[in-house]
């Protein structure tokens, strides 16, 4: 069941989507001012709210929780206060101002929501082949079954690449499973232009892969040419405007002179000149009128996207599994000075030194195959990949991959598998803080700390231990999942 809240701050106080809402204003105000009170419908997806008086938002207080410290220790009997979509307090119990819903988390752990750096959750199959195609457009915001499964496993945010045949396949997005207005759907593009997605087609035949690379280079060069033609146009336009202006001034002068002439003082010199050679004069006038307006190059939205990548405004994620493709990707990134990341990377361990030298990070897919066709040989290569890459100094992360959507649930289990193969990897940190920072949203997400976004998971125990369940999930401060049958503290207060 997904129970969603109405937007607590709907109406005039709504902050622009994607902006961290400040809670300072609501602190310490009179509790008499009641904001929208939302309920968890016990057996349905219906959500409803009361009018928003815009003064104070009800806080959610997670009491007696255990928190995992970044250094590996734990803090017992801690309190986490959520208000208006952000975390207001993390630490020892404090007196919470205003109205609050208190949840007793005794025995449970609270962490920030899990983040997948490489996922296909909620994605409809796409065969995208253009830079302007956006992964977020292929994201099914009504795929609530998948979202419930994601929440059941603590996942609240993921990077969704555009997928397609080969070459430039589109724009990837960072999507957070924030509940939508009215309930029943979810999905907020935290970054809708997270990366330009390129697939080098490692599964294709050699010649095909070469032509893919060739066409990539051409598209990038064409984008540069397009920009040059735009710049030329701008210059020409300025020149043209200047000429027009000059002519206008000249004509104005002439007109003024002729007016003066009209007053009794003709302009003999001019008359003489033009009068002396009337034919030429006419021609000159015609030439003056011929100042041609430069033609604007026809718009090229794909090139605009590629230019963002060239200007390093957008990261480029290159899917490449074969070592030769990875080397090509490194060259390509160097040639165009891209902020590049390599995805997939089954054979990355073979070219670890080159990756380290190029300072190109790598996103590995899942360590476990999802079908019956991967053999142990392949598996060992992947195992070795992470360890060899780590030793070589390559920055690497692991996501659940895009082979199928449902795998996007098991972000933490996947991270634990990684941790079994490479020492000094903290699986939880890998899928919270590290993932958020990798996706460039570390300032808002991935940590349980004041002023961060309130994407919070309540676990029945240590998240890494066997038998631990997710009891509650909050996204944007709103309860989006509650384990069926969980007592979950003073729920009465919520109603």
Q: State the burial class of residue 35 (Cβ atoms within 10 Å of its Cβ: 0-12, 13-18, 19+).
A: buried
**Closer CB to another protein, 328 or 366, in the complex:** 366
**b/e per residue, 96-133, with b = 16+ CB within 10 A?**
bbbbbbbbbbeebbbbbbbbbbbbbbbbeebebeebeb
State the minimum distance, in angstroms, from the CB of residue 217 to another protein: 28
Nearer to another protein, 215 or 370 (CB): 370
C-alpha–C-alpha distance, residues 361 and 359, integer Å? 6
* Residues near 474 by beta carbon (within 8 Å), at least 6 away in sequence: 60, 82, 454, 455, 456, 457, 480
Binding to another protein (CB under 8 A): which residues in 421-440? 421-427, 434, 437-438
- Tell me the closest approach of the beta carbon of residue 395 to another protein, in angstroms: 5
Cα gap 79→91, rounded to integer Å: 5
Residue placing its CB nearer to another protein in the complex, 96 or 123 = 123
Chain positions 93 to 122 lying near another protein, rule: CB under 8 A, are none
Distance of alpha carbon 344 from alpha carbon 342, whole angstroms:
7
Contact code string over 368-407 relative to another protein, x by CB under 8 A:
xxxxxxxxx--xx------xx-xx-x-x----x--xx-xx
Number of residues that bind another protein (CB under 8 A): 52
CB-based contact 146:116 (threshold 8 Å): no
Backbone angles phi, psi at 111, to 5 degrees: -130, 170
Q: Least distance in Å: CB of 232 to another protein? A: 39
Is residue 452 part of the contact set for another protein (CB under 8 A)?
Answer: no
Closest distance between another protein and the C-beta of residue 422, in Å?
Answer: 6
Q: Is the Cα torsion angle 319, 322, 325, 326 positive or negative in sign?
A: positive
Specify which residues 460 forms β-bridges with: none
Segment lying near another protein (by CB under 8 A), choices 30-38, 73-81, 268-276, 414-422: 414-422
Site string for another protein, 136-165 (x = CB under 8 A): ---------x---x---x------------
Q: How far is the CB of 391 from another protein (least distance, A)?
A: 5
Least Cβ distance, residue 360 to another protein (angstroms):
12
Comparing CB distances to another protein, the nearer of 306 and 388 is 388
> Is 17 one of the binding residues for another protein (CB under 8 A)?
no
Question: What is the closest distance, in whole angstroms, from the C-beta atom of residue 139 to another protein in the complex?
Answer: 19
> Parallel, antiparallel, or unpaired for β 109-112 and 114-116?
unpaired
Q: Nearest approach, Cβ of 424 to another protein (angstroms)? A: 5
Torsion sign, CA atoms 397, 402, 406, 407: negative
Question: Least separation, in Å, of the C-beta of 107 and another protein?
Answer: 16
For residue 12, the Cα-to-chain-centroid distance in whole angstroms is: 27
DSSP type of residue 22? P
Cα–Cα distances in Å, from 288 out to 239, 274, 275, 307? 14, 15, 18, 38
Query: Is 280 or 357 the residue whose CB approaches another protein more closely?
Result: 357
CB of 484 to another protein, least distance (A): 11
| CB of 132 or CB of 413, closer to another protein | 413
Which of 116, 155, 161 has its CA nearest to residue 138? 161
Q: Which of 1, 33, 230, 413 binds another protein (CB under 8 A)?
A: 413
HEC string of 58-76? Answer: CEEEEEEEEEECCCCCEEE
Check residue 327 for interaction with another protein (CB under 8 A): no
Interface residues with another protein (CB under 8 A) are 145, 149, 153, 359, 366-376, 379-380, 387-388, 390-391, 393, 395, 400, 403-404, 406-407, 409-410, 413-414, 416-417, 419-427, 434, 437-438, 442, 464-467, 469
């Amino acid at each position: 069941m997904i129970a969603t809240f109405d937007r607590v701050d709907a109406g005039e106080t709504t902050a622009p989507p994607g902006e961290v809402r400040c809670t300072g204003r609501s602190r310490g105000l009179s509790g008499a001012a009641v904001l929208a009170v939302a309920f968890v419908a016990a057996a349905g997806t219906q959500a409803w709210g009361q009018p928003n008086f815009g003064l104070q938002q009800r806080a959610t207080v997670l009491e007696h929780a255990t928190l995992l410290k970044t250094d590996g220790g734990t803090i017992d009997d801690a309190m986490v206060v959520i208000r208006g979509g952000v975390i207001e307090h993390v630490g020892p119990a404090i007196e919470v101002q205003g109205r609050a819903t208190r949840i007793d988390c005794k025995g449970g752990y609270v962490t920030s929501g899990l983040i997948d750096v490489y996922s296909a959750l909620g994605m409809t199959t796409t065969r995208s082949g253009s830079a302007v195609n956006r992964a977020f457009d292929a994201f099914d915001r009504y795929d609530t079954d998948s979202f419930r499964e994601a929440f059941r496993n603590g996942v609240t945010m993921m990077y969704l690449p555009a997928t397609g045949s080969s070459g430039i396949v589109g724009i990837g997005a960072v999507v957070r499973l924030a509940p939508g207005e009215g309930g029943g759907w979810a999905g907020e593009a935290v970054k809708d232009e997270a990366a330009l997605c390129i697939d080098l087609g490692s599964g294709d035949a050699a010649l095909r892969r070469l032509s893919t690379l060739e066409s990539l280079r051409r598209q990038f060069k064409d984008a540069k040419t397009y920009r040059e033609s735009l710049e030329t146009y701008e210059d020409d336009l300025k020149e043209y405007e200047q000429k027009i202006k000059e002519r206008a001034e000249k004509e104005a002068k002439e007109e003024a002179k002729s007016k003066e002439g009209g007053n009794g003082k003709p302009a003999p010199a001019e008359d003489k000149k033009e009068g002396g050679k009337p034919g030429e004069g006419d021609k000159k006038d015609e030439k003056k009128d011929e100042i041609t307006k430069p033609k604007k190059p026809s718009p090229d939205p794909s090139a605009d996207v590629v230019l963002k990548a060239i200007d390093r405004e957008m990261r480029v994620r290159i899917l490449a599994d074969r070592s030769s493709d990875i080397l090509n990707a490194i060259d390509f990134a160097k040639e165009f000075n891209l902020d590049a990341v390599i995805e997939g990377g089954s054979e990355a361990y073979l070219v670890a030194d080159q990756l380290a030298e190029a300072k190109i990070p790598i996103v590995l897919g899942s360590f476990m195959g999802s079908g019956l066709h991967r053999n142990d040989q392949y598996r060992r290569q992947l195992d070795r990949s992470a360890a060899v890459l780590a030793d070589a100094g390559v920055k690497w992360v692991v996501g659940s991959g895009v082979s199928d959507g449902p795998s996007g649930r098991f972000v933490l289990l996947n991270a634990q598998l990684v941790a079994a193969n490479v020492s000094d990897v903290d699986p939880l940190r890998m899928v919270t803080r590290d993932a958020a920072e990798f996706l460039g949203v570390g300032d808002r997400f991935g940590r349980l700390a004041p002023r961060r976004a309130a994407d919070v998971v309540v676990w029945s125990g240590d998240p890494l231990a066997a038998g631990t369940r997710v009891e509650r999930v909050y996204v944007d401060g709103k309860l989006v999942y509650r384990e069926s049958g969980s007592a979950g503290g003073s729920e009465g207060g919520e109603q």
